Structure 1
Amino acid sequence: MNLSAAIPYYFQDDGVIPNHPRFPVLIYSGVFTDLDSDQVLSVFHRNRWLNSWINGVFDFHHYHSNVHEVLGVLSGYAELQIGGENGKLLEVKRGDVIVLPAGTGHKRLSSGSGFRVAGAYPEGMSYNLKTGKSDERPQVLEEIRNVPFPVKDPVYGDNGPMFQYWKLPD
């Protein structure tokens, strides 16, 4: 596992996709290039990010209002749109990790070479699936505010970069 600094991306509520009001999306580039899928899941599990799965990323804008999510790219590459229609296009590849705070929109625009990700959630919480429909508000905004703070960074545990960027209000 390679030590990687996090790259933060902040997104505002666009009226459809709420994104997170305080926490940025974090990208850890190339941290898992030498690990297979079982080893990636083992790192997530050791750091209490559970309820894991292996698949892809949906090709429509969606978010989870009740939980934070980590995605580890196991194979291939993809272009993801993060933050909603007016968000940022991010290219991810094998070995990259994306930490998505609750409410953050994400969508796969394109992918290749057998793109697969491992996903997991702090303490094994169950996730909901929201798509930005108007009837989801204001409930999702309240859910996002009430998501528990993770005990550990999904990759680095107790001292990960997540704790530099994700801060609880005083």
Structure 2
Amino acid sequence: MELPEPIIYNIKPTKLIPNSPKPLIHYKGCFLRDGKVDPVLAYDTFKSNGWDPQWVTRYGSHQRSHYHGQAHEVMAVLSGPGAIRWGVADLDDDSDKHTYGGANEEGSLHMQANVGDVFVIPAGITHKNYNPYTASTRDATCLTGDAHYIESEDPRKLVGELPLIEFTMIGAYPTGSTWTWEEGGDHVGRYESVWNIPNPVRDPVRGDQGGINKLWRYNGRESNI
């Protein structure tokens, strides 16, 4: 696979969300074969670079904005398109209002998530993954178990056999890390504890050839945002 060049987004903290001094990294056109994503290639690439795939999820029309305060994350779009909103907290419990009605902090980054997109997400950057193009109002559905590991004797084979329709992504985390779900306000007053989560050894897409090795240099004393 030809290694794509990264696109970076610097997302500053808000009153409720730590976000990160490390940039969100976006790779386009990954894992494509004949115009479609090869999910096994995505799985193998992440594994070979020290990131464990733990879920494949199909997204519905809503999701709560959240972040991971104890682990970095990588997500790859297997089918789509869908939508992702980055960087801000929800300000209302009504799912229609916080997803479509603007009931969120100001300063969000919105983007369409297309097939072959990969997002390398530092701990603390909030995201909302949803499908505005579906008629379904269902919540996200994990296709592989409880989303903390792929429930199969052969996870690689299962990933290759899943039906990929609508907006589906695969997610992985650095080997040995444990992810948690946090929402706005959970780390107010202690953002540094999220920013100082150690960097993985290898970039999930480019391995030793750039990516986080060059772009994630925050050391607790200086910031690139």
Q: TM-score, normalised by structure 2?
A: 0.68
Compared CA separation, residues 90 and 135, structure 1 to 2 (3 A): closer
Q: 5 Å matches for 1:30-109? A: 30-34=29-33, 35-56=37-58, 59-84=63-88, 85=105, 86-109=107-130
Q: What is the CA distance between 1:146 and its match in structure 2?
A: 3.0
CA distance in 1, matches of 2:58, 2:188: 27
Task: Decide whether the 8 Å contact of 1:26 with 1:99 is kept in 2.
Answer: yes
Segments of structure 2 that go 5 or more residues without pairing to the other structure are 89-104, 134-164
Compared CA separation, residues 124 and 115, structure 1 to 2 (3 A): farther
Q: 5 Å matches for 1:1-170? A: 1-20=1-20, 22-34=21-33, 35-56=37-58, 59-84=63-88, 85=105, 86-112=107-133, 114-132=166-184, 134-139=185-190, 141-169=191-219
Question: Which amino acid in 2 is paired with 1:18?
Answer: P
User: Larger relative CO (CA 8 A, sep 6+): 1 or 2?
Assistant: 2
- Figure out how many residues of one structure are paired with residues of the other and give that number: 167
CA distance in 1, matches of 2:68, 2:130: 19
Task: Decide whether the 8 Å contact of 1:2 with 1:32 is kept in 2.
Answer: no
Greater strand share, structure number: 1
Q: What is the CA distance between 1:165 and its match in structure 2?
A: 1.4
Question: Which amino acid in 2 is paired with 1:54?
Answer: V
Q: Percent identity?
A: 34
Residue of structure 1 equivalent to 2:101 = none
State the superposition RMSD in angstroms.
2.0
Compared CA separation, residues 115 and 136, structure 1 to 2 (3 A): same
Pair member with larger Rg:
2
Q: TM-score, normalised by structure 1?
A: 0.88
